[in-house]
Amino acid sequence: METLYIGATPSSPEVNFDFAKHHLSIRGESYPENAAAFYGEIIKRLREYLGNCSQTRITVDISLAYFNSSSTKMLFNIFEAFNSAVTAGNEIVLNWYHDEEDDTILEFGQELHIDFPLITFFDHPEKTA
């Protein structure tokens, strides 16, 4: 499956889903004017990819400095797809990167870990300059 790459903008994150290497990443800020439109094709391609995976270890890197409430809903859809992939026999390893002083992003990551316990979750606090 062809890599899905969308460059970052001031209001949307970089999305780099290298399906061949089973490495997916979302980085930046996420507050697009229409989150459902921005994430719609991403989620569609992700579900298609995950549906073709069998006994696969998939690494996911998420590093979002900010996301709004409509992006939060889309992120939950992404995590529901990951959770379904795990129940189908795959392994999802999630690296959750956040500013070490940003409690909001940290707590959202912790909530994801609680809501989706089948996903292997690693918290990565980072210092900002």
Q: Choose among 63, 19, 12: nearest CA to 45.
A: 19
Residue 33 has pLDDT above 60, yes or no: yes
pLDDT by residue (tens digit) across 63-81? 999 999 999 999 999 999 9
Q: Which three-class secondary structure state does DSSP give residue 14? A: strand
Residue 96 pLDDT grade (very low, low, confident, very high; cuts 50, 70, 90): very high
Residues 97-109, mean pLDDT to the nearest whole number: 91
Q: What is the pLDDT of residue 84?
A: 97
What's phi and psi for 16, nearest 5 deg? Answer: -130, 95
Residue 128 has pLDDT above 80, yes or no: no
Calculate the average pLDDT of the chain: 95
Residue 129 has pLDDT above 60, yes or no: no
Which pairing describes strands 14-18 and 23-30: parallel, antiparallel, or unpaired?
antiparallel
So what's the architecture of 4-126 in CATH? 2-Layer Sandwich (3.30)
